[in-house]
Amino acid sequence: MADVTVLGVFKEVDTAAAGVQNALKANFTPRDIDVLTGVPYPNEVWGLPRMKSNLTKIAPVFWIVGFCIGNLMTLGSQFLYPLPTGGKSIGTLATNAVIVYELSMLFGIFASAIATLVESGLPNFKKLPYHTKVTEGWPAVTVLCRDGANVEGAEAALKDAGAEEVVRHS
């Protein structure tokens, strides 16, 4: 059976938080629960754990990769095709610093942008559950029922918390 998402629409943030807690008590994992609101609330408001991000690790690693590639390009080309000029060093810091800096930043920024998109789950071509009342300021809680298991439990958890409307999306 396909995955089913149960969406509950609430009038207040407190009742939506209670819906999240009821879903957690009904043995759904925090990964299966999502909250849709017009206002960006931190996960702690809903009683969900803080999302972990690898973005702070990815950007410095790719900055170092860009630094190494910049040095290989500049120093490598200078030593492969030497042009001795008046007894000066073939590989100089001043002429290479600009290219190395630019490549380091380029790799770090592009890696950060791509990692942000990947961690955000974009692009997502699946049709996601939504309700028009979310645009009116009502919070909504979605619970993913994998393989259609425990759909009734998810609906009951959201209704018991005071959901105004509960809808199934498959």
What is the DSSP code (8-state) at residue 128? P
pLDDT in tens, 1-18: 688 999 999 999 999 999
Question: How many whole angstroms separate alpha carbon 35 and alpha carbon 9?
Answer: 10
**Domain locations in the chain?**
4-51+125-169, 55-120
Share of the chain above pLDDT 90, in %: 62
DSSP SS3 for 130: coil
Residue 103 has pLDDT above 90, yes or no: yes
Distance CA 36, CA 142 (A): 8
Residue 1: per-residue pLDDT? 65
pLDDT tens per residue, range 58-72: 999 999 999 999 999
d(CA 13, CA 151): 23
> Tens digit of pLDDT for each residue in 129-152?
889 999 999 999 999 998 888 899
pLDDT mean over 92-105: 91
Per DSSP, the three-state class of 35 is: strand
Measured CA to CA, the distance from residue 160 to residue 117 in angstroms comes to: 36
What pTM, to 2 d.p., does this model score? 0.72
Q: Which pLDDT value is given to residue 20?
A: 95
Mean pLDDT, the chain, integer: 90
